[in-house]
Structure 1
Amino acid sequence: MTIRVVVADDQELVRSGFGMILEAQPDIEVVAEAGDGEAAVAAVREHAPDVALLDIRMPVLDGLAAARRICAGSRCKVVMLTTFDLDEYVYEALYAGASGFLLKDVRRDDLVHAVRVVAAGDALLAPAVTRRLVADLVRRRRAEAATEATPDRLAVLTAREVETLRMLARGLSNAEIATTLFVSEHTVKTHVSNVLGKLGLRDRVQAVICAYETGLVTPGAP
């Protein structure tokens, strides 16, 4: 199966460089490149790619706004590109539905791996910086909603599904979760699918955010 990708960045050298790296892979096809957010949204609508790489800072329509439109109107997975690992826009991008982010100085192999991981329905949770961003994001959201009462969102989950969510939030892969719970990877995939479906979540990144928001996992916990 070929992974179809749209690359959007206002710097021609950056997007063409990423495009060349991805095109060199036998299982990846770059179906379009875009120099601004509006063109990126149009390219996703026209080509229906599996993954869109979006620079956060683009003219006409920034990457965050483009991500919102793409995530709300298609099944395309979004990965944000940024120069800084603490870019404020990344927090909002995660809430908009992005499946993660990459720094623009990402290594060739990591770029290719990221596209494959996201296309497979997973998310960029392994890098410690991503987990730090999620934890900090939730701290901010909790502070904003400190006086609001929230229902127990996790009540719809079984005990095993709650445990699966907890491990997802700690960055464990399906294989690692399977080993910890003494079950098969297929069973773990079923648990993950149930968690996402019951909680109305798009992917594993949103599952991690939910785990922090509900207090299932606390920032800084091992």
Structure 2
Amino acid sequence: MVRIRVLVVDDHRIFAESLAAALAAEPDVDVSAAGSGPAALRCLERAAGENRRYDVLLVDADLGGRPPGGRPAAPGRQGGEEGPADGISLLPGVRSAHPGVRIVVLAERDDPRRAAAALQAGACGWVAKDCSLSRLLTVVRGVLREETHLPPALLTGVLRELTATRRHRTESERLVESLTPREREVLRCMVAGLGRKAVAEHLFLSPHTVRTHMQNVLGKLGVHSTLAAVALARRAGVGPVDLVR
């Protein structure tokens, strides 16, 4: 029998332990639990080093976050470790370091925008935390067959979000293409978080020249701040400059 190795990542201890116990009752499922993003990454690294990699990650969408209203997390949620802002922000790092792992996001509520963000970050599924065990197992087995699973009620909203994101990305790419090669280098330095003086040192330019380039970049991109320029650059797929020489 081929066994499925599942890692539950949820900082609500009672929920995580209950879900893990329910999954462990299945004859073909081996399950572990992690209470935070950093703990999950350690589990993945340790398992990979021992050649017993996980197949599926079940990640709480609100991992490490606060409940509605900004109140402190309820008792039973583990703290003390600095991790991602939420479960979705954990996904890119997992996909980069462990591309063979399938990720399913567990959510307390349907949210087309966050579900679309999860898919773009590498998730294969979005499932309600109160769904039945049989439904969850269907999704777990489905993503291992390269399927993508979303609640039917979310499909239209998610497609709309993905279409809008693609439209914004296309516009951002067009604006970035209007930059000169030197202006693109400056933009990549901005994406890396370098200030004017650091950009000048990295590109062997005078601070005055860098200031002029930065002003040109903001003008051509149609934005009024470095933060806005960096956000647009990231939408266009512009990465940070390599600072290692």
The offset of 1:3, in angstroms, is 0.3
> Using the alignment, how far apart are the partners of 1:146 and 1:123 within structure 2?
25
The alignment status of 1:114 with 2:139, answered yes or no, reads yes
Could you report, residue by residue, the CA deviation over 1:55-97 in whole angstroms, capped at 9, with x for unpaired residues?
0112222212221111111110000111111164322211111
Give the Cα separation in 1 of the matches to 2:122 and 2:153.
18
Name the CA distance, whole Å, in 2 between partners of 1:110 and 1:90.
18
Change (3 A) 1:124 1:23: same
Query: Counterpart of 1:54?
Result: 59
Residue identity matched to 1:97? G
Match in the other structure for 1:137? 161
Kept in 2: contact 1:99–1:124 (CA 8 A): yes
Same amino acid, percent of matched pairs: 28
From 94, 106, 117, the counterpart of 1:81: 106
The one-letter code of the counterpart of 1:141 is T
* Post-superposition offset of 1:113: 1.3
Instruction: Name the residue aligned to 1:188.
Output: none
Counterparts of 1:22 and 1:29 in 2: how far apart (Å)? 8
TM-score, normalisation: structure 1: 0.61
Contact 1:8 1:36 in 2 (8 A): yes
1:124–1:130: 8 Å Cα contact kept in structure 2?
Answer: no
> Which residue among 112, 117, 130 is the counterpart of 1:92?
117
CA contact (8 A) 1:53 1:81 kept: yes
Largest Rg, 1 or 2: 2
For 1:69, the aligned partner's letter is G
Equivalence for 2:37: 37
Contact persistence 2:119–2:125 (CA under 8 A): yes
After superposition, the C-alpha distances for 1:141-163 in whole angstroms (9 at most, x for unaligned) are 1441464689xxxxxxxxxxxxx
Report the secondary structure of 1:101's partner residue: strand
2:94 aligned with 1:70, yes or no?
Answer: yes
Compute the displacement of 1:129 (Å): 3.0
Give me the whole-angstrom Cα distance separating, in 1, the residues matched to 2:107 and 2:157.
Answer: 13
Residue matched to 2:7: 6
Identify the residue that residue 19 of structure 1 maps to in structure 2: 20
What residue identity is the alignment partner of 2:54? P
Distance (Å, rounded) in 2 between the aligned partners of 1:149 and 1:54: 32
RMSD (Å), alpha carbons: 2.0
Residues 95-138 of structure 1 deviation map (CA, whole Å, 9 limit, x = unaligned): 1111011111111110111111112322215x313423431222
Gaps of 5+ in 2: 48-52, 65-82, 175-245
Task: Give the aligned residue type for 2:22.
Answer: I
**Secondary structure of residue in 2 paired with 1:26:** coil
Q: 1:87 to 1:132 in 2, by over 3 A?
A: closer
Residues 125-204 of structure 1 correspond to what in structure 2 (within 5 A)?
125=150, 127-145=151-169, 147=171
**Structure-2 separation of matches of 1:149 and 1:92:** 19
Answer yes or no: is the 8 Å Cα contact 2:8–2:20 preserved in 1: yes
C-alpha separation in 2, matches of 1:29 and 1:4: 5
Q: Hey, which bits of structure 1, 4+ residues long, moved more than 6 A? A: none
Amino acid at match of 2:56: V
Contact 2:7–2:56, Cα closer than 8 Å, also in 1 = yes
Conserved in 2, the CA contact under 8 Å of 1:100 and 1:130?
no
- Matched positions, count: 148
Who is 2:238 aligned against?
Answer: none
